[in-house]
Amino acid sequence: MAHKVIIGRVWGNPCGVSMGKELAKGTLLAGSRTYTDRDTLGVQMRAPDYEEEGIKLYQGDCLELLKKIPDKSVDLMLTDPPYGMEFRSNHRTIKYDKIVGDDRYPVEVLNEFFRIAKKAVYVFCRWDNLSELPKPKSVLVWVKNNWSMGDLKHEHGRQWEAICFYPQEEHEFIERIPDVIKCPRTENVYHPTQKPVGIIRRIIETNKGATILDPFMGSGTTGIACINTGRDFIGIEKESEYFEIAQRRINDLQNNRSK
């Protein structure tokens, strides 16, 4: 199942992704923290900037920090890189600054993802990023409860984002779900491209794996989903503002759970 990024590779029309029924509600396994394949977050990097039981957060450039992580040392990589669209919402009254590094999709970093992950890699993207990425085994479709603005005269309203799935040698499902996930979007309270905890949790719960790495952590949503599903979490975030938000969200959740 080896994958290698070839810059500019075109693998076909992404429009053939099928649409399915809404997923049934329900809680999967995962809450007990009793995985037999759990490791000890054996990442050979500098000391984390925040650490609690099962959580390590690093503030820094993941393009550099990932090089120091040993091969096949985490189970899953699940992340939402910059899409290369210089996104800035026109919907909000109070505007966010543009996202650092959002001038292109960092496709070259996927080689590091494939090197590090033992079980699977999931990366969010837009439809127009698909031709840049290596061909995935599956493309999950996140269907939102509303659509974006865009070009109101010459463009259909986009209501979905893609999640490319790359299984690695040790991958194993807990549950094999359809490739369409319906989940309401957030109000982007913490980050301009914030993903809902629900969709991150759904992906995590379907896969075996005790340790999740998100190298584009943003406001820490993947960490929240990991705590809620009993997984260990490693997060990397470059921007200090969002690192502090992620640290606070994760710390608050852990404190509330311990009461």
Contact between residue 85 and residue 124 where contact means Cβ atoms under 8 Å apart? no
At residue 27, the pLDDT reads 30
At residue 243, the pLDDT reads 97
Phi/psi for 154 (5° steps) reads: -135, 25
CATH of domain 37-258: 3.40.50.150
At residue 130, the pLDDT reads 94
Question: What is the secondary structure of 173-191 as a DSSP string?
Answer: BSS---SEEE------SS-
At residue 190, the pLDDT reads 60
At residue 28, the pLDDT reads 33
145 vs 152: CA distance, rounded Å: 18
Q: List the domain boundaries for the chain.
A: 37-258
92 vs 117: CA distance, rounded Å: 36
Q: What is the DSSP letter of 173?
A: B
pLDDT in tens, 192-234: 778 999 999 999 999 999 999 999 999 999 999 999 999 999 9
pLDDT in tens, 114-132: 999 999 999 999 999 999 9
Task: Say which residue the tokens 């429009």 belong to.
Answer: 15
Q: What is the reported pTM?
A: 0.79
User: Six-digit token pair at 193?
Assistant: 């491209």
Kindly tell me the burial class for residue 244, based on how many C-beta atoms sit within 10 Å of its own C-beta (0-12, 13-18, 19 or more): middle
Contact between residue 222 and residue 79 where contact means Cβ atoms under 8 Å apart? yes
At residue 150, the pLDDT reads 73
Q: What is the pLDDT along the chain (259 residues), one digit of tens a residue?
A: 666 654 443 343 333 333 333 333 223 333 333 333 444 444 567 999 999 999 999 999 999 999 999 999 999 999 999 987 544 444 444 443 444 445 789 999 999 999 999 999 999 999 999 999 999 999 999 999 887 667 889 989 889 999 999 999 999 999 999 999 999 987 667 657 789 999 999 999 999 999 999 999 999 999 999 999 999 999 999 999 999 999 999 999 998 887 6
At residue 44, the pLDDT reads 64
Which of 251, 245, 239 is CA-nearest to residue 190? 245
